[in-house]
Structure 1
Amino acid sequence: MQALNRMNADEIAPNLQSLPLWSLDTGLKALCREFRFSDFGQAFMFMTQVAKAAETHNHHPEWRNVYNKVWVTWTTHDVDGLSLKDIQMAKICDQLFSGPTS
């Protein structure tokens, strides 16, 4: 298993370019995004898909849900900041939100 390393500002900046809808919360040292759906069922289905991916990657989000909105936060507590796992999981969230890819 590869050791996780905390990303520095020079490493974070280019990765954020590929995640334009995510914001960097410097206080939480985290990536954050709000997702909106047509109804609660769609929001819950998205959360279920993210939960399955999180289990597969052994990296879990901080999140909350109110009706058709899901707020997702990625941070790596083990390094007290962002790691590549956070970037990867944010990209997975974007892919799941966009729908299945072929």
Structure 2
Amino acid sequence: MKLSESNCEACRADAPKVSDEELAQLIKMIPDWTPIVVDDIMQLERVYKFKNFKDALAFTNKLGAISEEEGHHPGILTEWGKVTVTWWSHSIKGLHKNDFIMAAKTDELLAD
């Protein structure tokens, strides 16, 4: 099953973070995303490019809508011609499979 066809599961504070092995497998499914570490927290980040602010804002609004549907919310920086999206699970201070699912769903917004 494709990541984007999965749904997020409730993530509790004691949920396990993805292992290094899981990270290596899951990142292959979202190759345009980069694992980064911010304040000792592993996150996924991708920068999307657009022709103008209007298109960037429209993408941001679509992302907000799917985030609300799934109950999982990213860091979003919307600027003229680009949107930077960062996924991580706040409750576990790291990466959960939900973050990879949402990264894949974010990528699919480009096809809409």
Corresponding residue of 1:22: 33
In structure 2, distance between residues paired with 1:95 and 1:37? 15
Which of 10, 16, 19 is equivalent to 2:21? Answer: 10
3-state SS of paired residue (1:18):
coil
In structure 2, distance between residues paired with 1:25 and 1:8? 15
Q: Which has the higher contact order (CA 8 A, sep 6+)?
A: 2
Corresponding residue of 1:93: 106
Q: Which runs of 5+ in 2 are unaligned?
A: 1-8
Among the aligned pairs, what percent are the same residue? 27
Instruction: Give the RMSD, CA atoms, in angstroms.
Output: 1.4
Q: Which runs of 5+ in 1 are unaligned?
A: none
Contact 2:60/2:76 (8 A) holds in 1: no
Q: How many residues align?
A: 99
3-state SS of paired residue (2:30):
coil
Corresponding residue of 1:36: 49
3-state SS of paired residue (1:50):
helix
Give the TM-score taking structure 2 as reference length: 0.82
Question: Which runs of structure 2 are paired with 1:20-99 in the superposition (5 Å)?
Answer: 20-27=31-38, 28-97=41-110, 99=111
In structure 2, distance between residues paired with 1:5 and 1:60? 19
Residue identity opposite 1:21 in structure 2: D
Residue identity opposite 2:60 in structure 1: M
Residue identity opposite 1:48 in structure 2: N
